[in-house]
Each structure stands twice: as structure tokens, then as C-alpha cells.
Structure 1
Amino acid sequence: MAVELLSAEQLRAHADALGELLVDAVEGGASVGFLAGLDRAAAARWWRDRAPDVAAGRLATWVVRDGERLAGTVSLAYADKANARHRAELVKLLVRRGARGRGLGRSLLARAEREAARSGVTLLLLDTQTDSPAASLYASAGWTPLGVVPDHAADPRGVLRPTTFFYKRLHG
């Protein structure tokens, strides 16, 4: 399974497929910033709107395929402040429901961590819904829970849920 880094042009070209992946995650209950009823056109537009950040080097996005179909994605959002260049945020780790359980999420996570370290990042941050499958993945991959904020974000149904913040120190 090859994990591929997308250029801004490739992200635009794959925006529809990435949108389908995002809709699948939301329909499956993932708390990734969107509410139930997200339509594919809005999801694809959200991805297309990320292309300028990819082009400017503020965002790196990787995908993994299941045959020809996109099966997962992860992004790193690099800090833009001078005193924060050593850190990045892991965002939008998504794996299509039908492709879960085969290590794709773990592969995407490992790739993002390696590439972050290679680029000089020494600290990664993320947040995820407490007690979610994603929280278990991060804990098992050596991420340290920093704390829990109650009612931090709504799940796709609009119900407020606690969020766990994690960090991971990297060594180049």
C-alpha cells in the first residue's frame, strides 16, 4: 500500500474523491468538523479550498488507495508563526469505512510522523473525540494525551462531546 503526497494540483484533481471520503467519515459518525447531511459538493469544495495552503507549504496531504479508489487521507498543518516552526498539527486522518481494519490509518499516521520529522518538526499536536477509535489509534501509536475538554466539539448529529488533545515528540 503506497502512501502518496499530493501537490496542490493533485489535491484539486482528487477533490471529489476526497470529498466522498469526508462524507463517508461524517456519515460513519466521525467528529471531524462537519455535521450530518454534508453533501459531496460541499465536501469537495472544502478540499479544493485547501489547495492554496498546500501550494504555499502550510499544509501537506497524503492519500492511500484501495485499488484505484482513495481509501484514506491525512494532513499536516504547519505552524506559520516564527516561534512555532518546530510544531505541526495532524489533521483529517480519515479511512473509508469499508477499508478499515487493514492498517491504513496506522500507515498514514506513520508517514505523516516521518515526514514531519524529516522537515524539522519536533512536536506534533492533534485533537480527537474522547473514547473514539481514533483516540485508541493515537494512544497505541505512542501519542501522549494532554487533557480532555468537555463539550469541545459537536459530533455529526450535533451532540456536544469531549475532546482529547494529544501530542507526540519527534526525533529527526
Structure 2
Amino acid sequence: MQVSSSLSIERVDAGEAECILPELAALLHACVHDGASIGFILPFGIEDAAGFWRGTILPALVSGGRILFIARQGGALAGSVQLVVDTPPNQPHRVEASKLLVDPAFRRRGIARALMGALEGEARSLGRSLITLDTRTGDRAEPLYAALGFSVAGIIPGYCRDPFHDHLDATTVMYKRL
């Protein structure tokens, strides 16, 4: 999907993801080092980032449990987001948005919004009627999700460790009905 003359959003399968693994690892590494609360803490090396994609995401892409979208701007990998479709049998109507990443060098250009638009379109095409996600309370992404129509379900205190400091942050659980 071409978003602008230099921004494109692509759905990437496991084989394609494996081919761009170094780029995906660099994207994750940059976001974690910029303070993104996405499940990792420092120290976090490029090998750790590659290991996450190789050991967790590639198998989920192969099994069909996740769908990966990437954003390219001017040919460079600028961001990614994952749609978790592997939900329990009592939740066939729901999907989860996971690991929205935008390289710090590409922020404030509409990339996150475009990625979330592709994710939402895919959820609709799959017949899903609910998207859920969680984000660190007060994080930069929280206002974006609200602007995209997500509502706050609640806040869980002490949910995750801050990537830089030894303290626990709250998370905001959000949802959007399609």
C-alpha cells in the first residue's frame, strides 16, 4: 500500500522478514535505546534484537499467529507493527496490536498512523470486530492511540519495568471496536 510518494506500508511474510532481519533488529534496537517500553530493558544489544525476531516473531509468522507490517520511507525501514491473530477459541472476534515501532529518525511523519491503519484494515478484512493493545501509561504512543479511536479500558499499576531505570511503570490497556 503506497501511503505517500516516499512512504509505503507492506505486509511481510516470514521469508521476507528473515531476509530483512538485520533491518528489523536495528529498528527494534533503536526503539529500545530511545526508551520504548516494549518488553525489553537495557542492556539490550543488536544480537538480542535479532534473537527476538528470529526466535519469537518468525515462528509466529510461519504459524499464522501474527501478521507483520513494515513501513518504508525512501526505501529505508522506518517502522513496523504486528497484528496478533492467534487468539483463544472464545475470542475469535478479537486481535491485538503489538510492538508498534517507528525508528526515532523517522518520527512525526505519520508512519505510526499509517501502520495502524494497515493493521486495522487487515483486522476488518479478517472479520474481527475488536482490537486491543497496551502501552506504558503516559508514553508518547498513548495520545496517538486515543486519536485513532482507541478507548481506555483501564490502567494497571506496576505492570512493567522501565527500560532504563529500576522502577515499575503502569500500563494503559486500550481497545477499539471496528
- Secondary structure of the structure 1 residue equivalent to 2:118: helix
The residue aligned with 2:136 is 129
Provide the aligned length of Structure 1 versus Structure 2.
170
The residue aligned with 1:144 is 151
- What is the aligned counterpart of 1:115 among 115, 122, 128? 122
Query: Where does structure 1 lack aligned partners over 5 or more consecutive residues?
Result: none
State the Cα deviation string for residues 74-114 of structure 1 (Å, max 9, x = none).
00111332211111110000000010000000000111011
The residue aligned with 2:13 is 7
Amino acid aligned to 1:167:
Y
- Is residue 164 of structure 1 aligned with residue 172 of structure 2? yes
TM-score, scaled to structure 1:
0.95
How far is 1:66 from its partner? Answer: 2.1
Query: Where does structure 2 lack aligned partners over 5 or more consecutive residues?
Result: 1-6
Contact 1:62/1:74 (<8 A) preserved: yes
Cα RMSD (Å): 1.0
Identity between Structure 1 and Structure 2 (%): 36
Divergent runs of 4+, >2 A:
none
State the Cα deviation string for residues 13-54 of structure 1 (Å, max 9, x = none).
111111111111111111000002211111012112211211
CA distance in 2, matches of 1:135, 1:127: 9
The residue aligned with 2:65 is 58
- Is residue 17 of structure 1 aligned with residue 20 of structure 2? no
TM-score, scaled to structure 2:
0.92
- Secondary structure of the structure 1 residue equivalent to 2:44: coil
